Amino acid sequence: MTAIKPPPPGAKVGFTTTIPVEVVLAANLQPVDLNNLFIADPGARARVAEAEAAGFPRTICAWIKGIYAALQSHPDIRTVIVACQGDCSYTQALGELLEAEGRDVVHFKYPYPRDRQQLRREIRTLAARLGAAASQVALIQARLSPLRQKLQHLDRLTWESGQVSGAENFQFLIASSDFASDPEAFNLKVTEFLRQAAGRRPRTYPVRLGFVGIPPIYTDLWDYLEELGAGVVFHEFPRQFSMPHHHADLAEQYFHYTYPYDIFGRLADLEAAVRTRRLDGLVHYTQSFCFRQMFDQLIRERLNLPVLTIEGDRPSPLDSRTRMRLEAFVDVLRP
């Protein structure tokens, strides 16, 4: 059997959700989180329509359609890592479509149920497929550690002192899945931002909110909540993407990452955040046609504070109904 050749050094490697990015970097490849590529596109909404014109049904999650269409205009991304376990079945099908179109698809499976040894094997398989030496992976993980600590500090400046706004928090943490494809440049950006933020006055909000679930696809959510006097001081998944759990061992780091596993690990993480960050309420963002909507009931039952559930479909400003519901929720929480 011929061994599959790893991508050439410096090549861009896309991925459909957060995967152990240390392995990609250790293989001297350029990581591209395809979700970020899609949503950063000023024509993101049009990308969804393009995928529908290409045959994707309307009743499919917009993130999948956006990723597909974004890749069409990036033929330079030849290799795509698909999390075919730990994300969703749409991703699995997307991987097959991309393979049919000639891309190199690399599968990564987050073990379900969560399992340390299996995860360790998956990371080893990924490293072998991309051509990353174990020593290099360990080196990259150690190099990224100060940057990950800076991101934790940035997060603290949101919920402790209010010197970093909810929108800024979201923007930096969401980018930590691929470090904007260039960890060194991203590190400089974070360092400079923290320097500026340290000079700001502390700020308090009459209403402290947390965001639970998939990153919202709305474009003006944070500005609107600020107008209402509510600060978003917690973003569940973007914070998880920044890997706030410190572990010298890479498998252990991704074992404690809650996104790809069961809801119970997420609930424990959410309970801690509600307490530590003194949240007044949670907004559960759900994505149209996403299976994760089913967790809404458990989130409401298990977390002892008011929860507002909103739903978004494709990239757009907030619709009037969602604006009214957010306004009413903040009014109820206002002291």
Binding site for ligand SF4 (CB under 6 A): 61, 63-64, 87-88, 90-91, 214, 287, 290, 292
Whether the CB-CB separation of 80 and 229 falls below 8 Å is answered with no
Q: How far is the CB of 8 from ligand SF4 (least distance, A)?
A: 29
- The nearest distance, CB 17 to ligand SF4, in angstroms, is 7
Instruction: Closer to ligand SF4 by CB, 163 or 258: give it.
Output: 258
CB hemisphere CA count around 53 (13 angstroms): 8
Q: What Rg value do the Cα atoms of the chain yield, rounded?
A: 20
Neighbouring residues of 243: CB distance < 8 A, sequence distance ≥ 6: 148, 176, 253, 254, 257
Helices marked H in 15-115: 21-26, 34-39, 44-53, 62-72, 89-100
- Smallest distance, ligand SF4 to C-beta of residue 204, A: 33
**Cβ nearer to ligand SF4, comparing 160 with 313:** 313
Question: Smaller CB distance to ligand SF4: residue 298 or 324?
Answer: 298
Backbone angles phi, psi at 72, to 5 degrees: -60, -35
Judge contact between 4 and 126, C-beta under 8 A: no
Q: Scanning the structure block, which residue is given the tokens 């991101």?
A: 151
Could you give the C-alpha distances from 48 to 2, 17, 36, 51, 66, in angstroms and in order?
38, 18, 14, 5, 5
How many CA atoms are closer than 13 Å to the CA of 304, on its beta-carbon side? 4
Q: Which is nearer to ligand SF4, 77 or 132 (CB)?
A: 77
Nearer to ligand SF4, 39 or 64 (CB): 64
Cis amide linkage into residue 9, ω under 30° from 0: no
Q: Helix, strand, coil proportions of the chain in percent (round to 5)? A: 55, 15, 35
Smallest distance from the beta carbon of 277 to ligand SF4, in angstroms? 24
> Which C-beta is closer to ligand SF4: that of 87 or that of 280?
87
Nearer to ligand SF4, 159 or 170 (CB): 170
Smallest gap from residue 114 Cβ to ligand SF4 (A): 17
Q: How far is the CB of 162 from ligand SF4 (least distance, A)?
A: 30
CA-based nearest residue to 56, from 41, 71, 43 = 71
Cβ 87 to ligand SF4 shortest distance, Å: 5
Please state the closest distance from residue 90 (CB atom) to ligand SF4, in A: 5
Nearer to ligand SF4, 82 or 154 (CB): 82
Task: Identify the sign of the CA torsion 194, 148, 185, 159.
Answer: negative
